[in-house]
Amino acid sequence: MSYPDKRPLGLTLQEAFDWFVPIQAGDCRLWPASITKAGYGQFKHNGRHHYAHVVAYERHHGPVPAGMEVDHIDCVAPCCIEPTHLRAATRKQDMENRRGARCDSHTQVRGVWWHQGMQRYMACVINGYEKYAKTFDDLDEAAAWVISKRLELFTHNAVDRREAS
Task: Report if residue 7 sits inside a domain.
Answer: no
> Is the pLDDT at 94 greater than 90, yes or no?
no
pTM: 0.75
Lowest-pLDDT choice from 2-6, 73-77, 99-103: 2-6
Q: Are residues 80 and 113 in the same domain?
A: no
Question: pLDDT tens across 41-73, in order?
Answer: 999 998 899 999 999 999 999 999 999 999 988
DSSP string covering 49-86:
EEEHHHHHHHHHH-SPPTT-EEEE-S-S-TTB--GGGE
CATH number, position 149: 1.20.5
> Is the pLDDT at 125 greater than 60, yes or no?
yes
Task: Report if residue 32 sits inside a domain.
Answer: yes
pLDDT confidence of 26, banded at 50, 70, 90?
confident
The pLDDT of residue 127 is: 85
> Is the pLDDT at 16 greater than 80, yes or no?
yes
Q: Are residues 80 and 147 in the same domain?
A: no
